[in-house]
Structure 1
Amino acid sequence: MPASVAGFEETMMTNATRTHQADLLWILLFTIASTLTTLIFACATPFPALAALAAVHLDRRDGVLLMLAAWAVSQAIGFCALGYPWDAATALTGVAIGTAAVAGTIVASVVDTYVPARSTLARLAIAYVAAFATFKLGILFWAPVIGHADVALSLPILERQFVRYAVILAVFYALYRLLTAMGVPAPDAAPRTVLA
């Protein structure tokens, strides 16, 4: 193999490794930020905010990985620090939240792929609305099994959560911008399709 080809392959592998490390770093950073909000708001993990960030800044697989990591930490905090009861109903509620969060991430990523917005802020806003709606529909889907849908999906609660998670998204995005400005490598999201 010619030296130039070998050098090119080595450079490509090194760049791929750096990109993968940057993606994993952001999954870790977003999970830590999510953990702090979970502790501050007594386990109200901002899944729709994370899903919007993942849709815009991570590829779909890494977005799902982020959501699973945030969900696992949220459950650990709930059961180990906040005194969640160790029963089947609570565990099933956790499963419902996890599946709704992953669904919100996937839908936000798909919407971001096909939305014609070019501005990052517009993309985040559209992905957030898609993630929030999908997350809540996911909870509604589980409502016959887990109960309490009337409380979780009441209009005042939905409005409060929508605003709270939007504020958290703004804070997370500001943190993202600050860290990338300080030299933390940005994640390398998969290329998106912009429709004309």
Structure 2
Amino acid sequence: MAAPSSASAWRKPLWIALLVLASVVFSLGFACAVPLAAFAAIAALTLGKRDAFVLVGAVWLANQIAGFAINHYPLEPSTFAWGAALGAVALASTLAAQWVKDRLPQGGGATAAAAFLAAFAVYEGSLFAISLVFGSGLSNFTPSIVRRILAINFTAFAALYLLHRLGVVAGIAKEPPKLAARQRRA
């Protein structure tokens, strides 16, 4: 097997680093509204399964570090519990986006939109379910707040998706790995 070209050796680490850096910027700007569903969807669409989970874990960790070190999250058990829940839900959102991506034709805007919607639905639905179970944070699920979180996630997803597409055109990003639905059915 041939060794990877020098271009392919730096593309993926650069993309992952850019996304983690972007997540820190979002963490500083939006604190508790960091668009983890958007990162989950873009990771699922642009990386293989393992790398997508690694990226989403790194994005979550960067958000937690920024939250505690810069935004001064309170050092309380409930804060740590919600942080862990956000990490688990972000990974579940990645899984949902990958599941949708793997079952639709690859490379189109409809697949990207469906993967994003799946990630967002799992993200918000899971957080709502956790809030119901623990009776904490239900006030964060009013229609106006959910619309705001959707708008933040959609805008972030659209910007990251466009950035990736521009990178592909410019030759500094590569097309995402494809697992065509047709191949699995054969």
Give the aligned length.
183
Residues of 1 paired with 2:61 and 2:135: CA distance? Answer: 19
- Between the aligned residues of both structures, percent identity stands at 29
Bigger radius of gyration among the two: 1
CA RMSD between the two structures: 2.2
For 1:64-83, list aligned pairs within 5 A: 64-83=53-72
For 1:40-189, list aligned pairs within 5 A: 40-115=29-104, 117-143=105-131, 144-145=133-134, 147-148=136-137, 150-186=138-174, 188-189=176-177
Q: TM-score, with normalisation over the residues of structure 2?
A: 0.87
Residues of 1 paired with 2:98 and 2:115: CA distance? Answer: 7
Q: CA 1:47–1:146 in structure 2 vs 1: closer, same or farther (change >3 Å)?
A: farther
Letter in 1 for 2:65: A
Q: Paired residue for 1:14?
A: 4
Structure 2, unpaired ranges of 5+? none
Letter in 1 for 2:11: A
Residues of 1 paired with 2:10 and 2:4: CA distance? Answer: 10
Structure 1, unpaired ranges of 5+? 1-8
Deviation at 1:126, TM superposition (A): 0.3
Q: TM-score, with normalisation over the residues of structure 1?
A: 0.83
Q: Helix, strand or coil for the counterpart of 2:38?
A: helix
4+ aligned runs moved over 6 Å, structure 1:
none
Say if 2:25 is the partner of 1:36.
Answer: yes
Q: CA 1:90–1:175 in structure 2 vs 1: closer, same or farther (change >3 Å)?
A: same
Q: Helix, strand or coil for the counterpart of 1:37?
A: helix
